[in-house]
Amino acid sequence: MRKSRAVLGSIIVTALLLTVGNLVYPSATRILLNILWFISLSVAFMFLAMGIMAIFGMKKEVGRLLEILMEGSFSVLDVIDFIKQTIRLFVEKIKEILLSVAPMFSYIIAIAMYLGALYLYKMVGRTYDVTILTVVVTVTGISLLSLLNLPGRGDLTKTGWKYDFAKKINRSFVDSFEVVLFVFFLTMDSTHLFYVPADLNIPLHANFFGYDLMLRGFNLNDGRITLIVVAISIVVEVIRNVLKIVYSARNYYSALLETEPENNTTEHQRFQNIKKATRKAFAESRDDLIRFIAFTTILLFVFIIFPRLKLLSMMTANITLLMFDLTFTARLLTHKQGTDLISRLLDKLLKL
C-alpha cells in the first residue's frame, strides 16, 4: 500500500512538474515530452511485436527477446550505479577542497570586519572625540573573542565532515580575529593607510578628563596618566593569572579530597594538601605565566611609543577579560592549555 502511494505520488509530482515546465520553459519541456513519447511508442511497438510473434508460435524467440531486454535493464542499472558512484566521489572531492580552503572563508570575514570597524572608527573620529568609541570597540572586540573561545562550545565528540568544517572555520576565525584586533589597535590612529580614503586619513582627537590621549606614552612632560594606565593594565593581568592558579589549585584540591579522604582529616594534612595542589597548579601554569610576562612586556614597549589611546585600549581589554574570567570561571581552567595564536607565536619566536 505504501509503495502504491509512493508511485501514485511520483506520477502526480511528475505531471505537475511537466505542467509548470510547459508554462515556464515550453521549449525544453516540449523536447522532454517528445523523448518520453518516443520511448512510450517504442515500448508499445515492441510489446505488439512480441504479441504477434507469440501468436505465430514463436514462443522461444519471444522468451529470448525478453531475456535480452532483462539483461539490457541490468546494464541500465549498472550505468545508473556508475553515475551515482561518480557523483558521490565528486561530492567527496568537493568536500575535501572546501575543508582545505575553509580558513580562507574565516580570513575573508575577519578582514571585512577589520575594514568595517576601521572605516566606522575613522568616520566618527573625523568629527567627534574617539575616547568613548575606543572603549566601546575594545569591549566589543574582546567580548566577541572571549565568547568564541568559551570552553564547551559545540559537541566535540561528534564527527563527520560538517563538524570538521565547522571546527576548522571556528579555529581559523578565532586566530584571524586575534590578528585583526591587534592590527586594528595598531592602525586605528594612523594617517598613512593606503586602503583608507584621503578624507579619513586625518588626525584623531581623544581626551580623558583634560588629558590628551593622542600624546605619546613616554611624554616626559606629563607621564602620570601613562604610569597609571600601565600600572592598572599590569595589575589586572596579574590578578587574572593568579585567579587561574587559584581555581586550578582548588580543582586539584577537590580531586585530592575524593581520592585520599583519609589524608585530609587534620589541619596539618589539609595545609599540606593545599600546598600540593597549589604547586601542581603553578607547575602547569608556569609556561603561561612566562608567556604573559613576555607578551605584556612586548606590548607595553610597543604601545608606549604610540599615543596613550592605545594604552587605554590595552587597559580596557584587560579589564574586559577579567570580567569574563569572573563570569565564566571555566575559562580559568582551560586557558592554561596555551592553544591561542599568541601563545603559539611566542613559543616559536621566543622559544618559551
The domain of 14 spans 1-70
Are both 198 and 253 inside the same structural domain?
no
Distances (CA, A) of 162 to 30, 102, 169, 303: 40, 11, 10, 41
Are both 126 and 224 inside the same structural domain?
no
Are both 302 and 341 inside the same structural domain?
yes
Whole-number pLDDT of residue 290: 77
Is residue 95 included in any domain, yes or no? no
Could you report the per-residue pLDDT of 270-321, keeping only the tens digit for each? 777 777 878 887 877 777 777 777 777 777 776 677 777 877 888 888 888 8
Are both 285 and 310 inside the same structural domain?
yes
Is residue 91 included in any domain, yes or no? no
If you average pLDDT over each of 37-51, 120-134, 228-242, which comes out highest?
120-134
State which of 155, 183, 204 marks the end of a domain: 204
Are both 131 and 36 inside the same structural domain?
no
- Output the DSSP codes for 4-57: HHHHHHHHHHHHHHHHHHHHH-HHHHHHHHHHHHHHHHHHHHHHHHHHHHHHTT
Spatial distance between the Cα atoms of 233 and 45, rounded to a whole number of angstroms: 90
Are both 248 and 341 inside the same structural domain?
yes
Domain count across the chain: 3
Is residue 75 included in any domain, yes or no? no
Are both 115 and 160 inside the same structural domain?
yes
Could you report the per-residue pLDDT of 143-196, keeping only the tens digit for each? 888 787 776 555 455 667 777 787 788 777 877 888 888 888 888 888 888 888
Are both 192 and 222 inside the same structural domain?
no
**Cell numbers describing residue 245:** 592558579
Is residue 10 included in any domain, yes or no? yes
Are both 50 and 178 inside the same structural domain?
no
Spatial distance between the Cα atoms of 257 and 163, rounded to a whole number of angstroms: 38
Could you report the per-residue pLDDT of 229-272, keeping only the tens digit for each? 778 878 888 888 888 888 888 877 777 777 766 666 677 677 77
**Cell numbers describing residue 99:** 575543508
Are both 53 and 126 inside the same structural domain?
no
Spatial distance between the Cα atoms of 159 and 137, rounded to a whole number of angstroms: 36
Are both 54 and 155 inside the same structural domain?
no
Q: Where are the alpha helices (DSSP H) in 201-266?
A: 224-259
Are both 225 and 339 inside the same structural domain?
yes
State which of 183, 204, 225 marks the end of a domain: 204
Distances (CA, A) of 105 to 146, 246, 306, 330: 20, 39, 32, 29
Is residue 209 included in any domain, yes or no? no
Is residue 82 included in any domain, yes or no? no
DSSP state, 61?
Answer: H
pTM (two decimals): 0.63
Is residue 294 included in any domain, yes or no? yes
Is residue 42 included in any domain, yes or no? yes
